[in-house]
């Protein structure tokens, strides 16, 4: 079975995100990717079943976030945008201000990971506030909701940043039944069998099951050195199968031994086992590989050249 994603190439300035109703048929500047879905994988089978239930009507909701390669000038521009949001939040009464100590240094290429960790926690805390989280409140909190989503996007775009050597593209897409905002995602709980399908090593072009939670899991917290999140028992492990996925066009990750050595070292140094039983299947690292890109009659260079022009989604089909 195949999975076909059609992307818009209309120009836009990062961060790239959107919430739309699909399919969109009036855009000529598009690019299409096709994936071969993983056979004999229980989690992929669940994904396919949920997808068929989700996309039954003529239209369906879709939200997305894209993370293309960021150069130095764009990295500084993103710091400036974050600071502008922090400043503008001061003018709003609906939500608490961002701590002034979290303003980013616009003259430095330092990632400032501790500040980004704290900004992500601000996003998490406010996203979980009932008056923000209820869909009926979005109309009255549209600016708040937009800013929180942008803070999240900016943090994830900057937290792993380094001066680019290779072109990369990472995208997350979430699909819901019916028109946008009418219904939530259909989900199934992850089982131990599903956690056994998690993989740390991902190849360029892999299609993986999206994380689909507000928060950080153990592996992400170790990479960003978020010890405080462990001590406050704030970890959020992936816990569902859902119609949400990730497009990975990044350098191959081929050394799972290195990952586990680094993770175990971090857990030992920070006494993580005092707070969590990290040997449980739910603490498995990685993501489920739902499929691999079909490279028939195309090259990696051609794909990247087109992908870096992509700014939105126009259609997604199970073939």
Q: Is residue 207 within 8 Å of 35, Cβ to Cβ?
A: yes
72 has a pLDDT exceeding 90: no
State the pLDDT at residue 137: 46
Please state the pTM of the whole predicted model.
0.76
Those residues with Cβ within 8 angstroms of residue 157's Cβ, 6 or more apart along the chain or in another chain:
14, 15, 67, 70, 78
Spell out a b/e string for 109-128, using b for 16 or more CB atoms within 10 Å of the CB, else e: eebbbebbbbbbbbbbebbe
Please spell the DSSP secondary structure of 29-92, one letter per residue.
Answer: -EEEEEEEEPTT-HHHHHHHHHHHHHS-SS-EEEEEEEEE---HHHHHHHHHHHHHHHHHHTT-
Q: What phi and psi, each to the nearest 5 degrees, are found at residue 182?
A: -85, -35
108 has a pLDDT exceeding 60: yes
State the pLDDT at residue 295: 96
Q: Is residue 150 within 8 Å of 15, Cβ to Cβ?
A: yes
**Mean pLDDT calculated for residue range 185-202:** 95
Q: Is residue 147 within 8 Å of 126, Cβ to Cβ?
A: no
State the pLDDT at residue 73: 81
State the pLDDT at residue 14: 65
**Mean pLDDT calculated for residue range 202-221:** 94
11 has a pLDDT exceeding 60: yes
Residue 198, strand partner residues: 288
Alpha carbon 167 to chain centroid distance? 18
**Mean pLDDT calculated for residue range 27-47:** 96
- Per-residue pLDDT tens digits for 273-312: 999 999 999 999 999 999 999 999 999 999 998 998 899 9
State the pLDDT at residue 131: 62
Q: Which helix (H) or strand (E) holds 259?
A: helix 256-269
Pick the more confident residue, 78 or 134: 78
Q: 289 by DSSP, 3-state: which?
A: strand
Nearest-Å Rg of the Cα atoms of the chain is 20
State the pLDDT at residue 257: 86
- Listed by start position, the domains of the chain span 1-69+169-210+221-319, 70-165
- What DSSP character marks residue 125? H
Looking at every residue in the chain, the average pLDDT score rounds to 90
**Mean pLDDT calculated for residue range 24-35:** 93
**Mean pLDDT calculated for residue range 92-117:** 92
| Percent residues over pLDDT 90 in the chain | 67
**Mean pLDDT calculated for residue range 99-113:** 95
CA 154, CA 156: separation in Å to the nearest integer? 6
**Mean pLDDT calculated for residue range 248-266:** 90
Pick the more confident residue, 68 or 183: 68
Give which of 153, 143, 190 is closest to 287, Cα–Cα.
190
- Nearest-10 Cα torsion for 143, 308, 224, 287: 100
Q: What phi and psi, each to the nearest 5 degrees, are found at residue 218?
A: -60, -45
Please spell the DSSP secondary structure of 141-172, one letter per residue.
Answer: SHHHHHHHHHHHHHHHHHTT----SS--EEEE
State the pLDDT at residue 182: 58
CA 68, CA 169: separation in Å to the nearest integer? 4
Spell out a b/e string for 209-226, using b for 16 or more CB atoms within 10 Å of the CB, else e: bbbbeebbbbbbbbbbeb
- Per-residue pLDDT tens digits for 223-256: 999 999 999 999 999 999 999 999 999 988 888 8
Pick the more confident residue, 253 or 192: 192
Give which of 139, 76, 294, 81 is closest to 206, Cα–Cα.
294
State the pLDDT at residue 138: 44
- Per-residue pLDDT tens digits for 123-164: 988 888 766 554 444 444 678 888 888 899 899 888 888 777
28 has a pLDDT exceeding 60: yes
State the pLDDT at residue 129: 77
């Amino acid at each position: 079975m195949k999975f076909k994603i059609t992307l818009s190439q209309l120009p836009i300035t990062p961060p790239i995100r959107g919430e739309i109703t699909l399919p969109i048929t009036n855009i000529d500047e598009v690019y299409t990717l096709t994936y071969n879905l993983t056979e004999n994988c229980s989690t992929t089978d669940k994904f396919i079943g949920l997808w068929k239930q989700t996309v039954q009507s003529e239209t369906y909701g879709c939200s997305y976030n894209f993370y293309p390669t960021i150069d130095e000038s764009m990295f500084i521009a993103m710091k400036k945008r974050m600071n502008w949001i922090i400043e503008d939040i001061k003018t709003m009464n609906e939500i608490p201000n961002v701590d002034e100590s979290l303003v980013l240094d616009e003259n430095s290429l330092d990632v400032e990971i501790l500040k980004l960790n704290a900004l992500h926690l601000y996003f998490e805390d406010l996203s979980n506030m009932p008056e923000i989280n209820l869909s009926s409140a979005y109309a009255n909190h549209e600016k708040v909701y937009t800013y929180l989503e942008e803070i999240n996007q900016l943090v994830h775009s900057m937290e792993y940043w380094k001066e680019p050597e290779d072109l990369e593209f990472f995208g997350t897409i979430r699909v819901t039944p019916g028109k946008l905002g009418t219904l939530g995602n259909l989900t199934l709980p992850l089982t131990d069998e599903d956690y056994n399908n998690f993989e740390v090593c991902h190849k360029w072009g892999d299609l993986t099951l999206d994380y689909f939670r507000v928060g950080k899991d153990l592996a992400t917290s170790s990479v960003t050195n978020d010890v405080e999140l462990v001590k406050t028992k704030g970890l959020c492990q992936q816990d569902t199968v859902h119609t949400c996925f990730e497009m990975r066009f990044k350098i191959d990750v081929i050394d799972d031994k290195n990952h586990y050595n680094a993770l175990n070292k971090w857990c030992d140094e920070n006494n993580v086992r005092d707070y969590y039983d990290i040997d449980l299947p739910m603490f498995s690292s990685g993501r489920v590989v739902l499929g691999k890109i079909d490279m028939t009659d195309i090259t990696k260079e051609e794909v990247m050249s087109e992908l870096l022009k992509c700014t939105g989604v126009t259609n997604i089909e199970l073939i």
